[in-house]
Amino acid sequence: MKKLIACLLVACSASAIAAPSPLLENALSCKLKDKELATLMRDLAAKQPAFAKPAKQFGAPSADLYRLPQPVSALGYSSAEVVVTPGRILLAVPDKSVSQAVPR
């Protein structure tokens, strides 16, 4: 099963890199429908391999950092770094890396 998922992710990667994901843009712009919330991370991972595993994880408060091959834009900001919190609210971090933006 894992090999099948990996093959599907590889097959989808070219199209995911070529075009921004409307699902990701909607999530970053707070335009998701209620029914999309429950499967958001699984659906993002299926469309963009960068969401299969966080590039970095933070604790207290916990957050997962995902680095995208191309920047995504939402609400006038653009970034290739996306942070997902336990509440599944996505945030594109402008101008700074997440490591610089997260207080220690």
Amino acid 4: pLDDT: 31
| Per-residue confidence band for 46, with pLDDT thresholds at 50, 70 and 90 | very high
| Beta-strand relationship, 63-74 and 90-92 | unpaired
Tell me the pLDDT band of 33, cut-offs 50, 70 and 90.
confident
Q: Which residues pair with 84 in a beta bridge?
A: 64, 90
Q: Does the pLDDT at position 84 exceed 80?
A: yes
Mean pLDDT within 18-45: 84
CA contacts within 13 A on the Cβ side of 68: 26
Identity (one letter) of the amino acid at 87?
G
* pLDDT mean across residues, the chain: 74
Question: What burial class does residue 38 get, using C-beta atoms within 10 Å of its C-beta: 0-12 exposed, 13-18 middle, 19+ buried?
Answer: exposed
